Amino acid sequence: MKLKEYPLSIFHSVRLSLQNKNLWAKVPADTAPIVVSLTSFEPRLKGLHLVIRNMMEQDLTPRLIVLWLNNSLKGKIPTSLEKMIGPRFEVRFSDLDGPQLKLIESLKSFPKDLVVTCDDDLIYPKNWLSKLYSAHISLPEQIIAHHCRLIRRDSHGQLLPYTQWNWDRTKSYVDTDLLAIGSSGVLYPPKSFDQRVFDMELFQKICPKSDDLWFKAMAVLNDTPVRWSGYVFEPIPIMGSQRVSLKKSNVHQDKNRVQWNQILDHFPELT
C-alpha cells in the first residue's frame, strides 16, 4: 500500500465495520439482474467481510453476491463473514483453486445472468456497480471494464513488457487490443466466452497465474469486445491484504507477457 492510502483504508474499514446489519437481512425488491462473484484464499479471509459489506452498500443492488472458495477452506470461514450469509450473500465451494475461480463457477451456475467480478482486497465507490451497469445498458453484448490495459507490441510485432501496456483513454482502439483488468471490476454478459473457457487443465498449463489474460483470450475467440466503462476512480486497498499478491510475479517479473505469449502459441488465431 501507498502511504497516502492508509488513512482512507482505516476510515472505510471502520465505517464498513459499523454498517447497519439490516442490509444483510433481506433482498430489496428493486435488484438488478446481476450476480457479483469473487474468490479468496485463507490469508485474506479475515478482512473479507469488508468487501462483502462494500458490495451490500452499492447504490445498485445485485441479485446475489457469491464468494467461491476452494474445498480446503470448508470450516475455516471467520465469524465476521459467516454471520453475513443469507438471502443476499452466499459462500460456495469448488474443487478449483486460483484466481479463475472468481468467474468460472459463476459462469456455470448462473449462465443467464450478468456476472460482475470484484477483488477480495479492495474497497470501491458506492456507485461502482451502477457505473458498470449503465455502461452495459448502452453496450449490452460487450464486456465492460472499469480499468483496461492495451496489449502492445514493438515495430517487429513482439510483445512489449507488461508495464508498457498502458493506454490513452482519449483515443479509441481496436477491440481486440483492450484487456479488461479484473481488480477494478468487470461485467460479463451471458455467452461472453468461447466454451474452452472451462478447460482448467489448459489454463493451468499456459496461463496459471493470470485469469485476466485467460478470459481475454476466450472473449476474443468468441468475438466479444471489451469496452471501458468511462468511469475513473482509485479503489482503496484493505490494510494487510497486500502481503500476498500475484502482482509481484505477473507485473514486476513480467509473467503476464510470458503467459500471453504462451496463449498465442496455443491459439495462433489470436495473432
Confirm whether 213 is domain-assigned. Answer: no
Confirm whether 11 is domain-assigned. Answer: yes
Confirm whether 186 is domain-assigned. Answer: yes
Q: Who's near 233: CB < 8 A, 6+ residues apart?
A: 124, 125, 128, 146, 184
Q: Which residue has the higher pLDDT, 148 or 248?
A: 148
**Given this model, what pLDDT does residue 203 score?**
95
> 136 and 187 in contact (C-beta within 8 Å)?
yes
Confirm whether 249 is domain-assigned. Answer: no
The answer, yes or no, to whether residue 262 has pLDDT greater than 60, is yes
CATH classification of the domain holding 65: 3.90.550
| Alpha helical stretches, state H, the chain | 5-17, 22-25, 48-56, 79-82, 101-109, 128-138, 200-206, 211-221, 247-250, 255-266
Helices 211-221 and 101-109, axial angle in degrees (round to 10)? 40
Distance separating alpha carbons of residues 183 and 213, to the nearest angstrom: 13
105 pLDDT band (50/70/90 cuts)? very high
By residue range, what is the domain housing residue 23? 5-198+221-244
Confirm whether 144 is domain-assigned. Answer: yes
DSSP state of 238: P
What number is the average pLDDT over the span 131-150?
97
pLDDT in tens, 21-33: 877 777 787 899 9
Q: Which of 25-34, 138-147, 170-179 has the highest mean pLDDT?
A: 138-147
pLDDT in tens, 189-219: 999 999 999 999 999 999 998 999 999 999 9
| Percentage of the chain exceeding pLDDT 70 | 96
> How many folded domains does the chain comprise?
1
Confirm whether 206 is domain-assigned. Answer: no
The answer, yes or no, to whether residue 247 has pLDDT greater than 80, is no
The answer, yes or no, to whether residue 34 has pLDDT greater than 90, is yes
Confirm whether 106 is domain-assigned. Answer: yes
**Unique residue bearing C-alpha cell 513480467:** 254
In whole numbers, what is the pLDDT of the chain averaged over residues?
92
End-to-end CA distance of the chain: 36
The answer, yes or no, to whether residue 246 has pLDDT greater than 70, is no
Q: Which cell numbers in the block locate residue 201? A: 487443465
**Given this model, what pLDDT does residue 245 score?**
54
**Given this model, what pLDDT does residue 160 score?**
95
Distance separating alpha carbons of residues 120 and 53, to the nearest angstrom: 12
Confirm whether 150 is domain-assigned. Answer: yes
252 pLDDT band (50/70/90 cuts)? low
